[in-house]
Chains A and B, each alone.
Chain A
Amino acid sequence: DAGVIQSPRHEVTEMGQEVTLRCKPISGHDYLFWYRQTMMRGLELLIYFNNNVPIDDSGMPEDRFSAKMPNASFSTLKIQPSEPRDSAVYFCASSGQGSSYNEQFFGPGTRLTVL
């Protein structure tokens, strides 16, 4: 299996622009998670989906952030408009019922820089 795939790996944009981050979970996994990692706040859960349905979005910072999962193999995290404080590494992770631990497997992350 290729693991969790994220794109792009790096994104540099200017304040006010729309940013879209993409994620392909591990095939067969029914949970998908979006995290943000910063030095100040550590690793924060933004939102997670189960069978393509958002279950908990309480970590989404504000209305500028939105996430979708149109099918089992694809999810997007969109920031519109972007701000410098959104600069961070964004991780996607997935997990499945195959393991009793339901451990999460992470993608390589997208490093976002908003100028």
Chain B
Amino acid sequence: AQTVTQSQPEMSVQEAETVTLSCTYDTSESDYYLFWYKQPPSRQMILVIRQEAYKQQNATENRFSVNFQKAAKSFSLKISDSQLGDAAMYFCALKNSGGYQKVTFGTGTKLQVIP
């Protein structure tokens, strides 16, 4: 069975500063996909960034980047130049690359952005 662990239930960051959200996972597969989803108060789940396990290069999407450490099974999300609109729940998620489509989600980290 695969698991995703987010050990920080809540985090806060000053506007314009940088924050890192942690995620660790466990899977017996060698190839898989990792995702970060954002859920603002509107509750819409929005895909922020994605990473394929066999790709060495860390994914980047504008102010969002990841630090993917495959051996350590770690997948942290870094948000640079934090904005008020970044305040949300952030979920880390894992999906194996085979035909089975189930995604395992972490319990989420609530990010507060302080003006």
Chain A residues close to B by CB (< 8 Å):
31, 33, 42-43, 45, 48, 50, 55-56, 89, 91, 93, 95, 100-106, 108-109, 111
Contact = CB atoms under 8 A, between A and B. Distances in A.
Contacts of A55: 101
Contacts of B100: 56
A33 B95 CA distance: 14
Interface residues of B, number: 20
B2 to A, nearest CB: 12
Interface of B: 33, 35, 37, 42-47, 50, 52, 91, 95, 100-103, 105, 107-108
Main SS at interface, chain A:
strand
Main SS at interface, chain B:
strand
B75 to A, nearest CB: 14
Nearest to B91: A43
Centre residue among A42, A43, A108 by max chain B CB count within 10 A: A43
A95 B47 CA distance: 12
Contacts of A102: 33, 95, 101
